[in-house]
Structure 1
């Protein structure tokens, strides 16, 4: 995947305010269970799950199974890559 494709994929994933809120929350707390995110956002559990799926597909978050739940965390290397790609836009 080229840098432009990576940048576009990540930006597309962050193209919804709920996904930005999820990423912001996960950056603060380091790890979170989906149910906690549902309590945080005024959205149905299925909607939050769809947003998590989009963020995961873009590589911005990871999900780990812990018993009957999935615990999500930010892939900080991917976020750092995104920030670098955005910075490169200005230098181009």
Structure 2
């Protein structure tokens, strides 16, 4: 079985899945129909049976995870995050 490395570019516009220099798939935040944060991963569903799975170990730091959660909160209300109250407080206090 051949495994390709998949990279993700995530910003306020959406999520780009980069499979190779020639193969990219773009998902606008509006494409996400539901999503969940688990202890070890994020599951962002683009259909009832297809999801973007982002293990938390793929992020470089807890700050990167918090920044991702902030992007989710700012761009869609369809993803259920853990500690959403803490996420808001973290970003409010970090702007000082």
TM tier, smaller: under 0.3
Give the TM-score normalised by the residue count of structure 2: 0.27
Greater RCO, 1 or 2 (C-alpha within 8 Å, sep 6+): 1
Greater strand content: 2
Give the TM-score normalised by the residue count of structure 1: 0.27
Greater helix content: 1
